[in-house]
A and B are shown apart, each in its own frame.
Chain A
């Protein structure tokens, strides 16, 4: 006779869903995301990229630093490349600087390459780092006047 008791399927065990795993370090460098709900009071230093949409009261140092439109940073922002679409009250030191149209910058900008979009607010000293003059003493060569004959009659 068949067993009247139907076999119960195995009950799935309740397990917590794993949170997103860390990305592989062998690929592109990771990006820290400071969301608009996050506030940091202190120093940030990263060997990777940083995207800030929240609030930071302190210095920020990364490779590619992106300050979002809703972000507010009070401190020095430094990196290889810095893009600003939000508010920065402090100094920027980067090889490449991009100030978007929504940027609000109060402080000095030290750069080697800069792009400022129409609409950006900049209140500070914008100057290139290690600026090279176009003409130097070593490259300047005065014109040499050729001596002609005395023209004796």
Chain B
């Protein structure tokens, strides 16, 4: 179970090392980290991270659970994060469960953006089934 717990972001994130998935990498499965993850390659599966950055050219197909998500690549699936930033060049198809969200005018988004209170993300155990 990966439940997002509120904790001081700066110290916790500064202590955990940063992981990087290069452009030539393909991961099929589940990726889990309490720290920061930069994705330049492709991930097919679920990602649990502290801070997630999807770089331009990167691809995620699946669910993302994190404290903070910044998207500049392509994502097909769902995001569960209190803070979400959909930046320039991003292409998101799916749902963004958020408390605060920023979408750039140069981003492309297709789907829904359900707002949730912070307590929703702190008690996130089993991911909800996608509503039809």
Q: Is the interface of B mostly helix, strand, loop or mixed?
A: strand
CB-based contact B55/A22 at 8 Å: yes
CB-based contact A36/B17 at 8 Å: yes
Indicate with 1 or 0, residue by residue over B1-33, a CB within 8 angstroms of chain A CB atoms.
Answer: 000000000000000111111111111111111
User: Which of A's residues lie within 8 Å of B, judged by CB?
Assistant: 16, 19-22, 25, 29-50, 53-54, 58
CB-based contact B37/A16 at 8 Å: no
CB-defined contacts of B56 to chain A, threshold 8 Å: 22
Q: How large is the interface on B (under 10, 10 to 19, 20 to 34, 35 or more residues)?
A: 20 to 34
CB-defined contacts of A20 to chain B, threshold 8 Å: 38
Indicate with 1 or 0, residue by residue over B22-66, a CB within 8 angstroms of chain A CB atoms.
Answer: 111111111111110110110001000000010111000000000
Cβ of A78 to closest chain B Cβ, rounded Å: 14
Tell whether A39 pairs with B40 under 8 Å between CB atoms, given A30-B24, A50-B25.
no
CB-based contact B40/A40 at 8 Å: no
Task: Say yes or no for B95: interface residue by CB 8 A criterion.
Answer: no
Can you list 10 A-B pairs with a CB-CB distance of less than 8 A? A16-B85, A25-B23, A33-B18, A37-B17, A42-B29, A42-B31, A45-B25, A45-B26, A46-B25, A48-B22
